């Protein structure tokens, strides 16, 4: 009687991994359940909410030089320390708040990044006066479909630490007085808030993120 040979799973494309139930995801999210939840429900999904946008751009600035998992683990402490990322409140922070935050072990205690967050909150208020909302300003930098690769693969994402659009966003924000908004940081922000969808082809979350974008009414 022939011996049954176990079926070997097909090799996944680079950048993808499969969970026990066979669900394929971008491989970077397998590092922890928290990463996976962020990947499945947040990363790449379009955002227009003012607080969430301000939070995302601030946390990307804090992440520079650190892992994103470190930031996720400290996220609730960041929210508590920065008034739930209400830009109007953060814009009023002063030296006493910087001292308070530097003593908060729950966040990344970096004076420059803390001061930058307060400065950038003030700049958000200026953008709201000019464009009606921070969201309306940011969504002006969405790449058109013809500017994006037809298929998002691991090699393509690895080759795009920044893009012409993230460079343009970075340059314009710096001109307006923002800090910690370099082109690579701004591309990570664009990925996080769904201005681009970099879930790889074959990732189970990709279609949901793209569908959410199709249903979104872009703020003007």
State yes or no: is 68 an active-site residue: yes
Catalytic residue among 28, 38, 142, 201: 38
State yes or no: is 35 an active-site residue: no
C-alpha angle 35/40/42, rounded to 5°? 85
Catalytic residue among 50, 55, 60, 165: 60
Catalytic residue among 28, 42, 68, 126: 68
Angle in degrees, 0-180, between the axes of helices 50-63 and 111-131, rounded to the nearest 10: 150
Q: What DSSP string describes the chain?
A: -PPPPPPPPPPPPTTEEE-TT--EEEGGGGG-HHHHHHHHHTTTS----HHHHHHHHHHHHHHTTS-HHHHHHTHHHHHHHTGGG-HHHHTT--HHHHHHHHT-TTS---HHHHHHHHHHHHHHHHHHHHHSSHHHHHGGGPPPGGGS-SS--HHHHHT-SS-HHHHHHHHHHHHTT--S--HHHHHHHHHHTTSS--PPTT-TTHHHHHHHHHH-----
Q: Which residues are catalytic?
A: 38, 60, 68
């Amino acid at each position: 009687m022939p011996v049954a040979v176990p079926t070997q799973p097909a090799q996944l494309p680079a950048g993808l991994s499969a969970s026990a139930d066979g669900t394929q995801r971008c491989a970077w999210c397998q590092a922890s359940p928290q990463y996976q939840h962020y990947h499945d429900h947040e990363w790449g999904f379009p955002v227009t909410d003012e607080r969430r946008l301000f939070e995302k751009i601030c946390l990307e600035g804090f992440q520079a030089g650190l892992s994103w998992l470190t930031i996720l683990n400290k996220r609730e402490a960041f929210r508590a320390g920065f008034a739930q990322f209400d830009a109007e409140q953060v814009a009023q922070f002063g030296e006493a708040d910087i001292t308070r935050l530097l003593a908060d072990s729950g966040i990344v205690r970096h004076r420059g990044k803390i001061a930058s967050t307060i400065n950038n909150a003030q700049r958000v208020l200026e953008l709201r006066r000019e464009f009606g909302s921070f969201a309306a300003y940011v969504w002006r930098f969405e790449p058109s479909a013809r500017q994006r690769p037809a298929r998002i693969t691991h090699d393509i994402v690895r080759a795009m630490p920044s893009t012409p659009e993230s460079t343009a966003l970075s340059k314009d924000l710096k001109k307006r007085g923002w800090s910690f908004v370099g082109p690579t940081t701004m591309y990570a922000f664009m990925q996080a808030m769904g201005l681009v969808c970099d879930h790889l082809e074959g990732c189970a979350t990709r279609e949901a993120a793209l569908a959410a974008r199709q249903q979104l009414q872009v703020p003007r």
